[in-house]
Amino acid sequence: MIESVKGSDVSLLVTEPTPFGLNDLRLAVETLRELKIPFGVILNRADIGDKQVQDYCLKENIPVLMTIPTDRNIAVAYSEGKTIIETQPAYKQKFLELFKKVQKLKK
């Protein structure tokens, strides 16, 4: 992970609300804090699992920049090589908002 984020202005950590997701998130957060790289979380399949990831982010003052629910249409679009925006145009605004949030994280 260190080599992939070296020299980055910001890192986006995409995780799921599962025990494995939380474990990997903790490791990534520790690394990014050590490297002093600003970061935020995108919660994928946000409606599965439990609230431990959200609670961890709140406790650690980690911004959750975007949540993406489990959606079969997203999976189908991905399997067809299409973007979310192509099949669900409402996501365009969500990604624009995400971009603005990422810009604010930059040092």
Cβ atoms of 5 and 35 within 8 Å: the answer is yes
d(CA 82, CA 12): 22
The torsion angles phi and psi of 50, rounded to 5 degrees, stand at: -125, -165
d(CA 99, CA 77): 22
First to last CA, the chain: 21
Q: What is the pTM of this model?
A: 0.90
- How confident is the model at residue 107, as a pLDDT? 62
* Boundaries of every domain in the chain: 10-70, 71-101
5-56 pLDDT tens trace: 888 999 999 999 999 999 999 999 999 999 999 999 999 999 998 999 999 9
